[in-house]
Amino acid sequence: MTVPTYPAVESTAPPSASTAARAQLLHGGSVEQYRQAIADGVDRVARRVATVDRPVTGITPAELAPLVDRVDLDRPLGDAGAALDELDNVYLRDAVWFHHPRYLAHLNCPVAIPALLGEAVLTAVNSSLDTWDQSSGATLIERRLIDWTAERIGLGPRADGIFTSGGSQSNLQALLLAREEACVDAVGPAARAELLPRLRVLTSAAGHFSVQKSAKLLGLAPDAVIAVATDTRRRISAAAVREEIERCREAGLVVMAVVGTAGTTDFGSIDPLTELAAICAAAGVWLHVDAAYGCGLLVSPTRRHLLDGIERADSVTVDFHKSFFQPVSSSALLVRDQRVLRHATYHADYLNPARMVQQRIPNQVDKSLQTTRRFDALKLWLTLRVMGPDALGALFDDVVDRAADAWQLVSEDPRFEVVTRSELSTVVFRYLPTGPGRELADAANLHAREALAASGLAVVAGTRVDGRHFLKFTLLNPATTVDDVGYVLDLIATHAGRYVHDHVDADADLTCPVG
Ligand SMILES: *Cc1c(COP(=O)(O)O)cnc(C)c1O
């Protein structure tokens, strides 16, 4: 058998304007450039990571904005090395480094290296997880991970789900499915229009604001989300949920979902899921569990029981980019009954015509709110294949242990007042002036947080509790030690104490004029 050969096509035409640009596209002829550029970029980041001595530099938007604005986007540098030099100046030098042990602010984790490897692979191959013909094996890998997660939760044989961009999107989709399930009997536009304004969602007063946003996006009434009171441990009160369902019923309202939170963002509190499941089952109400933060417990070797009851949910949000040490984005929505995902299905002739379902072609777009979609699942896949679930769970256990130590430290320190003890890894507390100046507590804590960030030595978060300003540690870094926590507490006390001292004196100066 002879293989036909074709003469090389010698072009006599002058090179087109795009000839040089083509070398910047990844293809068989540019792999050396690709290797070089990525290796250079990795090297720059590695050098920064190796040398940062504080989580932030404390640069202000006013200082940084001119550097970014000065870049002329219409005048390319022509070379990745030069662009990286520039990037170092406008971004990397002053980036926020979550791997630093004194980054204690939000739910940002240090990232697992196998996941970074996954990120590099998935962006280069650039599979899109809407249809099989844009992804092939990637679709199967995502499906395996959805099954794995649903099994960890215990959702049963008919479970399914989809990777999403984050917990907010997962919550939105969960509530979309719950709304549609609540509307199944409201056939016709008139019945639907009559029902929609009567739908209500119950969630904890400490629940996530994406529930409110979702309700708005879903066209529910402005007062559709009812914030249910919490107990002293900041967990939703099951008794109050039961009463609220009853009250809604009597008022002619329809509770379309109860959202239980497995790890509130501020307090790390886990709602009583077993009780919520029983209440929802008895009332025929959809139970959604927002485990965006607490999902790390699914792989915890010692604390899985804290999620007991989650297996009875109708839908569950997990954020792998919070407690699974994955880079943003990596989240998923899981559902107990795969059939409910049909509420997110549309068939487009050009993409996923209905006949593909009969042909058993697995198109993930049938289950997703997105169309073109990243292969984020690959990051978790490589993490599990390299490290395994127990190792991930051990890392999360570490930070939960560390938060317990931190709570102990703060609660024994007379300079501070601490709120409830977290089941996960937050500590909410405030500096309390002991002598004169107690009324300055709010301003002093606000000041301490800002002064700390400006110094770059540590970053903590702030929140309000019962109308007062509090500070918050969110621990997600196993490298954070109790000494780090103690050091940051001293810095906070110094900043806040100085503020109180200065302002009490200033007040005294005003009230006691000399002469
Ligand atoms: C972070 C968080 C969310 C939102 O998740 P994103 O990934 O930031 O969109 C939802 N619920 C809870 C409890 C969270 O902590």
Q: Whats the size of the chain, residue-wise?
A: 515
**pLDDT tier at 513, thresholds 50, 70, 90:** very low
Long-range contacts from 404-407, C-beta under 8 angstroms, 24+ separation: 405/482, 405/485, 406/473, 406/475, 406/482, 406/485
Within 10 angstroms of residue 426's Cβ, the number of other Cβ atoms is: 30
Report the candidate in 281, 194, 278 with the shortest Cα–Cα distance to residue 239.
278
**According to the model, what pLDDT value does residue 349 have?**
86
Give the mean pLDDT of the chain.
95
- Alpha carbon of 315 to those of 162, 175, 333: distances in Å? 11, 9, 7
Say whether pLDDT at 11 is over 70: no
Instruction: Provide the β-strand partners of residue 259.
Output: 203, 288
Q: Is CATH 3.40.50.300 the classification given to domain 128-387?
A: no
Q: What is the pLDDT of residues 147-171, one digit of tens each?
A: 999 999 999 999 999 999 999 999 9
- pLDDT tier at 506, thresholds 50, 70, 90: low
265 CB near ligand 1 (under 6 Å): yes
Q: Percent of the chain beyond pLDDT 90?
A: 89
The answer, yes or no, to whether any atom of ligand 1 lies below 6 A from the CB of 168, is yes
CA distance 313 to 285: 10
pLDDT > 80? residue 197: yes
* CA dist list (Å): 398 to 411, 428, 483: 20, 19, 15
Mutational test site, ligand 1, from 109, 165, 168, max ligand atoms within 8 Å of CB: 168
Task: Report CA(320)–ligand 1 centroid distance (Å).
Answer: 11
Helix (H, G, I), strand (E, B) or coil at 472: strand
**Ligand 1 center to 207 CA (angstroms):** 10
Predicted confidence band of residue 495 (pLDDT cuts 50, 70, 90): very high
- The torsion angles phi and psi of 273, rounded to 5 degrees, stand at -65, -40
SS3 200: strand
Q: Mean pLDDT throughout 54-69?
A: 97
Q: Which of 428, 427, 420 is nearest to 403 (CA)?
A: 427
CA–CA dist 500, 418 (Å, integer): 19
Would you state the pLDDT for residue 16? 79
Nearest-10 Cα torsion for 90, 91, 96, 101: -110
Mutate to test the pocket of ligand 1, among 322, 370, 374, 424 (most ligand atoms within 8 A of CB): 322
Q: If you measure from the C-alpha of residue 76 to the centroid of ligand 1, how many angstroms do you get, rounded to a whole number? A: 37
Sheet containing 331-335, strands listed edge to edge, beginning at the edge strand earlier in sequence: 160-164, 331-335, 315-319, 286-291, 254-261, 199-204, 225-228
Q: Nearest residue CA, atom 6 of ligand 1?
A: 167
pLDDT of residue 10: 67
- HSE-CB for 57 with a 13 A CA cutoff: 15
What pLDDT score was predicted for residue 18? 86
In the chain, the amino acid numbered 397 is D
Name which of 384, 374, 387, 364 is nearest 143 in CA terms.
364
Q: Rounded to whole angstroms, how far apart are CA atoms 466 and 430?
A: 13
Q: What is the pLDDT of residue 512?
A: 44
425 touches ligand 1 (CB under 6 Å): no
pLDDT of residue 360: 87
pLDDT at position 1 over 70: no
**Residue range(s) of every CATH 3.40.640.10 domain in the chain:** 128-387
Asked if the model's pLDDT at residue 507 lies above 60, the reply is no
Q: Is the pLDDT of residue 483 over 90?
A: yes
Is 13's pLDDT higher than 80? no
Q: Residue 514's pLDDT band (boundaries 50, 70, 90)?
A: very low
How far apart are alpha carbons 432 and 155 in whole angstroms?
A: 46
Q: Ligand 1 within 6 A of 426 CB?
A: no
Q: How far apart are the CA of 456 and the centre of ligand 1, in A?
A: 26
Per-residue pLDDT for 75 more than 50? yes
Architecture of the 391-511 domain: Alpha-Beta Complex (3.90)
The confidence band for 3, taking pLDDT boundaries of 50, 70 and 90, is: low
Q: Does any ligand 1 atom lie closer than 6 A to the CB of residue 167? A: yes
Q: Would you call the peptide bond into 329 cis, given omega within 30 degrees of 0 as the criterion?
A: yes
Residue 6's pLDDT is 72
In sequence order, which residues have a C-beta less than 8 Å from that of residue 491 and are 6 or more positions away? 448, 452, 455, 457, 458
pLDDT at 350: 87
Query: Which parts of 61-201 fold into alpha helices (H)?
Result: 61-70, 80-90, 113-125, 137-153, 167-182, 189-195
Residue 369 has pLDDT above 60, yes or no: yes
pLDDT at 508: 56
Closest CA to 214 of 185, 260, 179, 262: 179
Domain with CATH 3.90.1150.10 in the chain: 391-511
pLDDT at residue 202 tops 60? yes
**What φ, ψ does residue 454 adopt, rounded to 5°?**
-65, -35
Q: What is the pLDDT of residues 256-312, one digit of tens each?
A: 999 999 999 999 999 999 999 999 999 999 999 999 999 999 999 999 999 999 999
For the cut 90, the answer to whether the pLDDT of residue 331 exceeds it is yes
